[in-house]
Amino acid sequence: MRLERATARKVPKSKMANGAQTRNDASPALSQDGPILCTVELFGTARLLAKTAKISLVLPPQAVLSSAFVALAGQLPVLVGPVIVPDRSKLTRGYACNINGLDFVRDPRFKINPGDSIIIISNDAGG
């Protein structure tokens, strides 16, 4: 049996392993005029307070991260104060937000795309 030798090729940084564009690329394929469906995954204290690990949100077109926090606070008001600041625009200092397991984001103006997974974890999570 003959095995062919694999060759490595450099993939541009603007492409992820599955061929999708990274979040920093402007792409018409990622834009949408209708509502945006995304998922929020909670870990640590946020999960304990919410008594759920995952929640789906429907956001308005052109939604940004702060839109997701407003919607999340509406669905899970117990998170306002400990996890989401009272004005609902961002997370409290003790929490971090990751998008799709790829990018840690603090900018409340970060655009949310359909199908995004927003992960909320405590800054001191880990072992």
- Please spell the DSSP secondary structure of 52-79, one letter per residue: -SEEEEEE-TT-BHHHHHHHHHHH-GGG
Domain that holds residue 92: 35-122
In a domain, 58, yes or no: yes
Instruction: Tell me: pLDDT of 24 over 80.
Output: no
CB 42 within 8 A of CB 51: no
Query: Among positive and negative, which fits the CA dihedral 55, 21, 98, 36?
Result: negative
- CATH number, domain of 118, equals 3.10.20.30
Query: What are the pLDDT digits (tens) for 39-63?
Result: 999 999 999 999 999 999 999 999 9
For residue 90, the 8-state DSSP code is S
In a domain, 18, yes or no: no
Q: What is the pTM of this model?
A: 0.74
Q: Which residues contact 60 (CB under 8 A, 6 or more apart)?
A: 35, 36, 67
